[in-house]
Amino acid sequence: MRWATTIVALATLAADASPALADEYEWQIGVAPGATIAWRDGHADLGISARTIAQYGLLDSLALEVSGSCDYVPGVSSKQSDSEYLTSPIFHDMQRCTLVPALVGRFGRRWVISISGGLGYRYERHTNREGFSRSGEFVPVEPVETRHLMIIESGIGMELRVREVFGVGGILRAAVPINSSSREANVDLVFAVLLSFFGYGG
């Protein structure tokens, strides 16, 4: 099967006998522009995302990471209405910034597969809020809403170490808030291209 051949080829690359390039004491700085999907109670809204990543290799196979990101998602719909004069849903534009420390498992040499998990903070701001009044009119909703959330974030990635000081790859991250008062299902996905630069030192 073609997919099985592809998996075997990737495993062969990851097991290459050349010296490991994901190393202990390695510094990694990366930028990751991409897309984000905000999933709210069965409805997905698409936005844009920008992320920076800093990693330090504690071991060849384990790194400490701190990532910061900002997202913009327009036209998000919410089933919740915070006013007795409005009916659901409420529509808004969402801006948010996130800071997440995490541990990252790294596997491979030239092709490096990563698995991450961390606990972080998110600031979320809802602007241009609008909804339907009880009489059926589409009206603005005031004021601007802000939220301070703790999130659990996990992710996977694959990266090609082109040179000892440069790599390119892709990441997928998923985040779930753990202290949201929302009654909605609330999951966020980020797909991004990762460009990385490396340095070495204890």
How many other CB atoms are found less than 10 A from the CB of residue 107? 14
- pLDDT value of residue 23: 80
Closest CA to 147 of 113, 179, 116, 183: 179
Taking the complete model, does pTM exceed 0.75, yes or no? Answer: yes
**CA–CA separation, 59 vs 55, rounded Å?**
12
**CA–CA separation, 33 vs 51, rounded Å?**
6
Taking the CA atoms of the chain, what radius of gyration do you get in angstroms? 20
CB 108 within 8 A of CB 146: no
| CATH number given to 24-200 | 2.40.160.20
Residue range 4-53, pLDDT digits in tens: 454 445 445 444 434 445 688 899 999 999 999 988 767 788 999 999 99
CA separation (Å) from 25 to 15, 21, 37?
Answer: 21, 11, 34
3-state helix, strand and coil shares in percent for the chain, rounded to the nearest 5: 5, 70, 20
3-class secondary structure, 130: strand
| Helix (H) or strand (E) run with residue 3 in it | helix 2-14
- pLDDT value of residue 4: 46
- pLDDT value of residue 106: 93
Instruction: Kindly list the domain boundaries of the chain, sorted by start residue.
Output: 24-200
The pLDDT averaged over each successive group of 10 residues in the chain (202 residues) is: 48 44 84 91 86 95 96 80 61 90 94 96 86 64 83 95 89 89 69 91 68
**CA–CA separation, 192 vs 37, rounded Å?**
12
Q: Which two tokens stand for residue 31?
A: 């930028």
Closest CA to 76 of 93, 101, 97: 93
- pLDDT value of residue 99: 98
Q: Name the phi and psi angles at 4, rounded to 5.
A: -65, -40
- pLDDT value of residue 86: 60
- pLDDT value of residue 135: 62
| Helix (H) or strand (E) run with residue 13 in it | helix 2-14
Q: Which two tokens stand for residue 82?
A: 């915070």
